[in-house]
Structure formats: structure tokens, C-alpha cells
A and B are shown apart, each in its own frame.
Chain A
Amino acid sequence: MRPRSLLAAATVATVLAAAGCSGTAKQADGTGAAYRLTDTTPAAGGDLDSFTWSLFGEPTTIDYAYSFDFPPNQILANVCESLLRWNPDLTTSPNLAASFANPTPTSWVYQIRPGVKFHDGSTLTADDVVASLRRNLDPEVGSVWGNQYRNVESIERTGPLEVTVTLQAPDATFNKYLAAGPGVVESAATLAKSGKEYGSPGTGVNCTGPFSFASWTSGQSLVLKRFDEYWNPQLKARSAQAKFVFLADPTTRVNAFRTGEVDGGWMVPAGAYAQLKDTPGGALYFGQNTTVATEVVNNLKGPLGDARVRQALLMAVDRKGIVKAGAGGVGEVANSLVTANNWNGAPGAAELIKALPEYPYDPAKAKALAAEAGVNGQKVVIATSPLDSQTTIITQAVAQAATAIGLKPEIDTIAADKYTALFTDPAAREGIDLFLTFWYTSITDPLDMYSSLRTGAFSNYGGWSDPKFDAAVDRAVGAYDPAAHAAATGEAQQIAMAQLPWLPLYTEPVSVFLGKRITGVKPSIAYLYYPWAAEIGAKG
């Protein structure tokens, strides 16, 4: 499932929720298979000595400045804490910042929680916060969160336990990002001492989370141990140790679940849902996600430059079929580039979602629309990578749709490393009309997604531009009032979904497998920033 990581890297983006609230059984169309979203798994009945968790890849570092991928983030979420916390229900709450205020539109003041200990026993101060946040501005560091800090003017210590961030212009998402990677706080002394080695296997990190870094055997495993002086009794770790093993091959991972050699893992391969659903070895859970499988329109100079052709293409894609065949029946057709839970009860969100244009599967109508736009056997190149069956199935379905509306699809299969380059390197994207991404947001705000389609934005790959859209995004960024913010974001969303600079395919829930020894985890995309492993304990 590496493509996801690619995407995440590019801009941390957006959502889905189609499935709605927890505990609802969803009937996947036509398959008869039902799946259920859950907020939580049965609470742990006791403490554990240790549990083993699988990752699909080995992190290259656990320095938060370079952690934007699933493997490092799901480890780091338990070791390092941010100023704010992204909760499993996708709300945001105070964390290392006990409180915060926004006295002027361009300043954010954070009161740092007193008495918090780092893993080496030293005490958290404003200096640690300043040093940690400032790294995101330092070109020498080259933090992956530079874009989230683009509006930051300065970060200053304004008291022993107070930090003030000054912005160049109002930015309604900046504060929200401080619940994710951009808000991580590490020990200033350790950062200075470790230098470039910070976060590497031999050095690790020094933070304040419920687990501390214990050891990292390169190529094999990374071990965390419970931090006994952790400040937050609610999230104190139930297990004395958490061991992460790196298993790249999906079948190897699934086998390890079945034999009990591994106790659990996020991101279960869709092909194994059926196999793991009713196994005596454990249970499979689904939870809230912010991910949408999306076909990026990369070339607006070709036949896809006409919005009618993009609309026709989307109408000709059998998205229900993709969910059924490619995603194990677990997912929902998407009408937006974000999931419904990304709005998280924002004022008027329900109406905004209801007003979205829909593109039901209708190849005949799609063909007529494309003909009207003058489509006549033009070539479109669809990039894909031989990563997993899901990716292959989606690509085939899109190619079929292109044929159905009179285009001539050509599938360009790209090796995994080159595929990553599509998200960063314009040269790599040359000659490609469409490519697939699983795009998620790491904050609860659809604007994270839509601002990346603004004219000139780094991830606006096709160079799409609409002045009304840009104006709506700009208004939303500057709007702190929740109603005004949601309304402006909704306006941008409406324009994007009518114009379809990207084609939303389907949303999928987060998946997690738990073996028979353990329980307590809360299935949610928040696992990338929330200390989920602390809640895992022994079965009752």
C-alpha cells in the first residue's frame, strides 16, 4: 500500500466519512458483505508485558521533521507528543499546550503544561517548544512540514512556559496542524546534542510520550518501552513494551497475523479482509478515515482539459464495481475529495455535502457528453505501479471508462520509486494524463485538501486554475469563524466538484487487525498522531 504514503507525503491531505458514525453497519452494494465502523475495541482487561506490531515498511528515521509516512508516524505517535492532540474521534484537544489563545488574527499564544518530563528525566520548558517548532523553518533541516509553516513569521518564548507564534497573515489551519507532525515537541538539548543523528537507529529521540525509544535493530525491529514518569494518567501505557517488526510483503504480514507471531497491525491488505474476518486468531476492525482514492488529472492541455470530458470520465467509471472488486467491498463511492467526517460537525456541513454534484455510473450518458465535447479517439496515458491488486483493478476500471467515452487509454506502468517521483517531480509527470493517489488529511479540515488545488499550489499537479475557487480558498484560510470558514471551504469544494480537477473514486475506512491476546485500540486515522499503542492491553 505504498502509494498512500506517497500521497501523504505530498501534502497532507483529506478525507471521507461517507460511512458516517460509529457502530453503523454498512451494506456494501451488491456484495452482500457488511462491514461495521467502530470507535473502539473492547477495553483492555489487564496489563501486558509486550506486544508485537507489524509495519509495511521500515522507517528511515523517527525524527518528526522527516516523518510523513505511515511507518514512522504510527511509531512516533506513541513516543513524541504535539502541542495539541488529534483524537480518535477526529477532534482536537490541548496536550503539551495546556491552553492556547488567539489574541490577534496573526498571533497564537501557547501555555505550556508544567511538570511534563522528557524521557531522559529533564523537564519540558518553552525553550524546548521554540527549538522544536523552529526546526520547521530552518532550510538546513529541510522539514517536511515547511509548507504548513509557510505563513509563520516568528516563534518566540514569551515566558518560562509560554510560546508565541506570529503569522504573516491569518491562517485558520495553522493551529490545527499543531496536533500533528508540525506540532511535535522534542528536547532542545537532545536536538542540539544529536544533530544529524537525531531520530536514527543508534540515537533515537527524546520526547514526552507514554512510550520511550528503547532500541532499533536496523532491518528487523524497533522496540519501545513504557515511560513510567508519563504525565497523563489517562494515556499511561498498558504494555511494558511495544515491538514493531517490518514486513513489506502483504502475504507475509497476513501469515504472521494468522500464526500469532504478530499481534496486530494497521492497514490490512484489502485482499485479506475475508481471510481475517472470521479467524480464530483475532479480529478485524474498521474505523474512521480521512482517505479518498482519487485519480489526479495531470494534464489539462489534452482531451481532459474540457471539464465535460472529466465529468464524462467520472460517470463512466464503475466505482461501485471498484469498491467491490478492488477494496474487498469495504468502502463507499466518493462525491468529494474529502470524507464527510473531515467536516466533523462544522456549521452547515450536512447541507454542503448534500449539495454536491453526483456522478452516477452511466456510460451511455457519459459517452454522449464526451462526444459533445468533441472526444474522438484521443490518447490518454494512465500511470500506475504494480504495487497491489487494488491499484491494478482501479487502473483497469479507469481505462475501461476512458474507452467507453471514446478515448484511447494507454496504461503506463511505473516502478514504485518512480511513482513516488510523480508527486514531487514535474519531469516525472510529463506525458501522463491521469494517476492514482490515496490522499488523506492529517487534520480535521477539508481545507487541507482544497488549498492544495489552489492556483500554483505545489500539489496542483495539472495546473488547474479557477479564480473563484482561489478566492474561496483564500477567504477560508483567513476565516477563523467556524461558520464563515466552513462556508468558504464549502464554496471551494462545490467549484472543485463541478470542475473535477481531480476525480474522487471512493473512500475507505481505516483497518486494523488485533490478535487474540490484545485489545483496547481505537480504530481511526488519528493513529498517525495519537498514542494508540498506550491503550493496548491484555484481553479481559
Chain B
Amino acid sequence: MTPATALRAAGSAARRLLGMAVTLLVTSFLVFSSLYLAPGDPASFLVKGRSPSPQELLAIRQQYGFDDPFPVRYWHWLEGVLHGDLGRSYLFHQSVGEVLGARLPATLLLVGVATVLIAVLGVGAGIVGALRRGTRTGSAVLLLVTVGAAVPSFVAAIVLRSVFGVRLGWFPTIGNGTDLPDRLHHVALPAIALSVTFMALVTRVTRSSMLDELRREHVEVALSRGLPRRTVIRRHVLRNALGPIVTVGGLLVSGMLVSTAIVETAFGMSGIGSLLVQCVDQLDFQVVQAIVLLVVAAFVVVNTLVDLLHPLIDPRVRAAGGAR
């Protein structure tokens, strides 16, 4: 890399980071405003179960700032978020940070294990499917992909739970676990249930991306010249095919954060997915805002990372960037 291209690369990275910050800011505004435009008065939730006196209602509205003008409320909230203060959950009588802190590790572990499954099994099956195309193994991969893509996570959860949890008793059916081995034991079935569909998707992308590369002229030339097949596949096919796989993978990982609700509920786990459902149900705005913001941030950060990674994986992208 020449100093000039390095500079350009740094400049483009800086632009991406700035873009990320702007995206987050705009998102925060949209998240905040959409929730306050939603029907339902949080004050009436707070007094459910009794008829409040007008003074009481007023006190509650003041306490939570429901009567402040919208920009003031947004500014207060944003200021708090920037200071790491996400507000106070009125459902849990705790700070939102504490509420999320208690649940985030379980979800991160769940998504983490699912990601590993997707990366290893999904990409692996895609490579096998491409290399063994037309054979019995290749068809088996295609069949699995078709079935896997058609199985919603709640169906997978129900089947896994009743077979491996209730009937065979190999895995626990509820809870998060205590130490790491126990947590992994608890998270195994939910992670499989969560990743089935995504795995099928990644397998499909990997397979077609590999096939595209295999058909390329330079690959055919390399093979016809007698270069070892293994080396050609690793250096030329896999490396070039990685771009689309990483892009799709990045989207899926951040997407999984919001798909955990069903799986968490089915396995009695407590993570942010089930928390989100609960808080939407009960109009706990502060928590919902924090979770939505968190998920959006994960999306933006992961995709920015993917963008930044691309030139490192694929020299052609770097070259194209240089020519611009």
C-alpha cells in the first residue's frame, strides 16, 4: 500500500465512522419520537389498578416528565444516554442499565454460540455443497438448506425442547445456567433453534458464491495449469467468495439480536429478546428505547466493521477504492 492509498483508506474509514455516528444520532431521534407517538399513556399504566386522584396523576406526570415539551424530553434523554444513563424502568423500579445488564449476557452468549454454529456449520456446509456439487453429498446439502430455511425458530424450539429436553432429558428446558459450562449446556438447544434458518441462508450464500468463483476463468486456468486444487480453492475461490458471505453474516448476526424473543421465551431464558416483548406490552418506554437503540447500534457497528473489513479480505475492493 502506498502512503497515498493508505491515506485514502484512512480517510474512507473516518468517513464511515462519522457516517456511523450520524446514523446513530438520527436513529436515536426516530426511536425516541416513534415511541412517544405510539398510542397509550404510560401514566395510566403506572396507576393501573386504582382510580388516581388528579393530584396523583399530576405528580406522576411531573415525576417522569411526561408533560415537558417533546424536544426537551428528547434532549434530556439524549444527554442521559451520552452519560451512560439510560433512564429508569418504571416496570422494574430499577435503572435501565441494571435491567439490561442482568439480561444482556444471556443474549450475547446465545447469539455468540449461534454465530459460531452459523460460521462453522453454515459456511462449512456451503463449501461442501459447492465442491461436491452434483454428487449425493451435494444434494444432501441442498435438501438440508431447503428444509432448514423452512423451519421457523419457534418450531425448531418446540421440537428440540420436547425431544432433547423433555423426552431424552439431555438438556435443561429452562433457565440460563450458572457457571460457563452450565451456561453452554443451557444455551445449546436455544442456539440451535435460533440459528437453523440463518444457517441455511449462509449455506446457500456460501455455496452460490463459491460456485461463482469456481466458474471464473482464472480459477479454471489455474487448475488446468496443474496448481494443486487445494491451494487454488483456498487462495482464489474461498478468499474471493468470502465477501458476500461476510456481508450476509454481518446482517444476520445483528438481526439475531431481535430474533431471540421467541427462543428465549420457549426455553425460559431471560435475555433482551423476551425483555423487549415484555416491555412493549407494558409500555415501559425507557427500556424499549434502550433495547431498540442497542440493536440499531449493533446493526450499524457490525455493518461498519464489515465495510472496513472488506478491503482487507478482497484485494479487488481495495483496488477499486484506490481508483475512485
Contact = CB atoms under 8 A, between A and B. Distances in A.
Contacts of A326: none
Given A68-B49, A140-B59, A200-B93, A255 B275 contact: no
Interface in B82-105: 91-94, 98-99, 102-103
A249 B51 CA distance: 31
A240 B204 CA distance: 54
B193 to A, nearest CB: 13
Interface stretch (A141-149, A165-173, A488-496): A141-149
A129 B59 CA distance: 26
B166 A258 contact: yes
Given A247-B174, A252-B173, A261-B172, A199 B93 contact: yes
B53 A139 contact: yes
Contacts of A458: 50-51
Nearest to B262: A249
Interface string A149-182: 0000000000000000000000000000000000
B179 interface: no
Given A217-B102, A417-B281, A248 B49 contact: no
A202 B172 CA distance: 28
Contact of B169 (A9, A139, A253, A259): A259
Interface range on chain B: under 10, 10 to 19, 20 to 34, or 35 or more?
Answer: 35 or more
Interface stretch (B3-11, B211-219, B265-273, B292-300): B265-273
Given A142-B56, A255-B173, A249 B265 contact: yes
A438 to B, nearest CB: 15
A506 interface: no
Interface in A53-94: 60-61, 63, 68
A215 to B, nearest CB: 12
Contacts of A259: 165-166, 169, 172-173
Contacts of B44: 421, 424-425
A202 B93 CA distance: 10
B88 to A, nearest CB: 9
A130 interface: no
B90 to A, nearest CB: 8
B283 interface: yes
B166 A255 contact: yes
A144 B49 contact: yes
Contacts of A359: none
A421 B265 contact: no
B292 to A, nearest CB: 17
A218 interface: yes
Contacts of B174: 245, 247, 252, 255-256, 261-262
Contacts of A140: 59
Interface of B: 40-41, 44-53, 55-56, 59-60, 91-94, 98-99, 102-103, 106, 158, 161-162, 165-166, 169, 172-176, 265-268, 270-271, 274-275, 278, 280-283
Interface of A: 9-10, 60-61, 63, 68, 139-140, 142, 144, 146-147, 196-197, 199-202, 217-221, 245-249, 251-253, 255-256, 258-259, 261-262, 415-418, 420-421, 423-425, 458
Given A68-B49, A219-B102, A249-B268, 9 more contacts: A10-B49, A60-B91, A139-B55, A147-B50, A147-B51, A202-B98, A245-B174, A261-B175, A424-B48
